[in-house]
Amino acid sequence: MADLGTVLRTATERLRAAGVEGPRRDARLLAGVVLGLGTAEMVAHPERRLTAAEVAAVEAAVARRASREPVSRILGEREFRGLRFALTADTLDPRPDSEVVVETALRLLEGVAAPRVLDLGAGTGCLLLAVLAERADAAGVGLDAAPGAVAAAAANAAALGLSARARFVCGDWREAGWAAALGGRFDLVVANPPYIPDAEIAGLAPEVREFEPRLALAGGADGLAPYRILVPALAELLAPCGGVVFEVGLGQAEAVAAMLETAGMAGVGAFADLGGVARAVAARRARREKTIR
């Protein structure tokens, strides 16, 4: 047997040696979940004795984190806008940066009754389902090229009680005819397409490079290849006054905004995430609309 404080110190040092950012935080988080203990309880009772089985379980979780597997993937879930989303190997890990996409989408939907929403590259379904969770009159479709992601998104919709308003289908917007197969037009399109330039993927943190699906990362030579496909398709996808919100990478907002303007979209605007990075670019189909604020 060992005491909790010793186990946490050992775990912290192992994670620090592995180059993990915030090793004490992650050690406590993993131990807390494994042991069913809250942070306050662990801090207040470091003398608590652990069984050999409990120590082994903590060590197994810490070993995964030391290999640079993200905490969210070890736990199998991620919280996004107060909702919990199960993760699989086929889904991108939702991040706080993407919350500005949902916030912007909700502003675009103000005044639109019973809107239809399309999520391109749905992954866990976090963008679509977060919008539906806050708009009880909305319904939507999520498209993803990976069957495993489609299954994960559908399961998340069921867990959140949103299955009646969310449908997820397998399809690839890189293939001809994909838009016509979705059936009808939408009041809103949201997308977090892959936007990392291919040559930069090798230099990403191991948590991203080794554990995120490459299909959800690689955006071509300059990271903008998906937008060159998706922007022209908006004419077929959007209702007359429909809107779009794209997540973009660092330094890409201006280029994506220019594509939307060239395509005849109106009210083009860029919106910053919590870190101050222009992370979302939005527009409406109708030119008469004012700039989104």
Per-residue pLDDT tens digits for 179-218:
887 988 999 999 999 999 999 999 999 999 999 999 999 9
Q: How far apart are CA 12 and CA 8, in angstroms?
A: 6
CA 255/CA 261 separation, integer angstroms: 10
Cβ neighbourhood burial of 38 (10 Å; 0-12, 13-18, 19+): exposed
Pair 189, 234: CB distance under 8 Å:
yes
Name the pLDDT band for 292 (thresholds 50, 70, 90): low
Task: For 72-210, list the strands marked E by DSSP.
Answer: 77-80, 83-86, 116-120, 139-144, 166-170, 186-191
CATH code linked to domain 2-67:
1.10.8.10
Domain 80-284 CATH assignment equals 3.40.50.150:
yes
Mean pLDDT, the chain, rounded, equals 95
Contact 28, 42 (CB under 8 A): yes
Report CA torsion sign: 28, 34, 37, 42.
negative
Dihedral class, residue 251 (left if φ above 0, else alpha if ψ from -120 to 50, else beta):
left
The mean per-residue pLDDT over the stretch 261-267 comes to 95
Taking residues 80-108, report their average pLDDT. Answer: 96
Q: Span 250-277, mean pLDDT?
A: 96
For residues 243 and 246, what is the distance between their CA atoms, to the nearest angstrom? 10
pLDDT for the residue numbered 293: 57
pLDDT of 145 reads: 95
Domain positions in the chain are 2-67, 80-284
Of the candidates 218, 191, 228, which has an alpha carbon nearest to the alpha carbon of residue 101? Answer: 191
Do 80-284 and 2-67 fall under one CATH topology? no
The pLDDT of residue 288 is 47
